[in-house]
Amino acid sequence: MYIVFVAIAIASCKKDVVIIPNNNAPTYSEIPTILLENYVNRLYIDLIGREPLDDEMSSDVQFLRNNDVTLESRDSLIFKLQFDTNFVPGDSSYKQAYFHRLYEMVKVRLIEGVSDGYIQNEMGIHYFFYEVDSIAGNLIQAHNNLIKYYRLNDIINSKTMLYDNLIDIKEMHRTMINSSIYDQINMNTFNFVNAAFDNLLFRYPTEYEFNNSYSMIEDKEPYTVLGYSGTNKEDFINIICNSREFYEGIIHWTYLTLLARVPTTTETDFLMNDFYITCDFHKLQSFVMKTDEYAHF
């Protein structure tokens, strides 16, 4: 009797499923125009650093509407803003504006957004001392200043080289931390090692990682960091920029800049399947920007 009573009691607690008629989730084609305009506006700001003009807004919203705001249509709009080379007044082209914006964002991330004019001024200083030391016979110091000059020049050139697909986003990061400006911001090896881990990997080094990194740079002897061995500062930079954690850091940075949150472990693992192989930052951006979360749909 007790078992029968319990069974009846449990059955009586079950709630009937209530189905509300005509309450289907709205399709993308029914998204309000104001949300489409907000989405287009956000794409322009995040990708090329400005709001769309009235005719651009009208055209792009209509394009999305005509294609039912599918993921494919969103991808096409993002691709246009990243790679379209047709002339655009004020920007030269969307592609030109996009790569300039990306270059400036990486500079903000790593070297406090210093202007190209500042970089060129530093180049001039290094070249001046290169000439002075050369005349004075201080060949080692002259060589060091010449190296610093060319490394700063590499930063300036990285925008065009990324535009021409001659380097990837990883090489742009490597170029910026391998410079006298990054050294000025993070003076001495102690600060440099901590900053490199924090800026690129979004964490500080463990005691073991710090000690080995510091000794690799200061002692110029073989030490292992992140699974790889190196003997100097340039080796350390190459190791950290080629580490798997560096790629995870780029995904982390992308989510923070576009969604104002860190990616979940599942999201990171999924994106790493492709990004770790291709290092295609533009595709990574597009993946995030196509989502309903980014679009606020």
pLDDT value of residue 91: 86
∠ Cα 85 113 149 (to 5°): 90
pLDDT value of residue 27: 76
pLDDT value of residue 10: 44
Residue ranges, the chain, pLDDT below 50: 1-13, 15, 18, 20, 22-23, 25
pLDDT value of residue 132: 97
pLDDT value of residue 26: 53
What pLDDT digit, counting tens, does each position of 125-158 carry?
A: 999 999 999 999 999 999 999 999 999 999 999 9
pLDDT value of residue 250: 98
pLDDT value of residue 112: 97
pLDDT value of residue 23: 46
DSSP bridge pairs for 230: 223
Q: Which phi-psi region, left, alpha or beta, contains residue 291 (left: φ > 0; alpha: ψ -120 to 50)?
A: beta
0.85 surpassed by pTM: yes
pLDDT value of residue 90: 86
pLDDT value of residue 16: 55
Residue 43, CA distances (Å) to 51, 61, 62, 80, 250 in order: 9, 12, 15, 11, 19
3 state DSSP class of 123: helix
For residue 192, give both structure tokens: 């440099």
Q: Are 155 and 179 in contact, with CB atoms under 8 Å apart?
A: yes
| Nearest residue to 33 via CA among 13, 10, 61 | 61
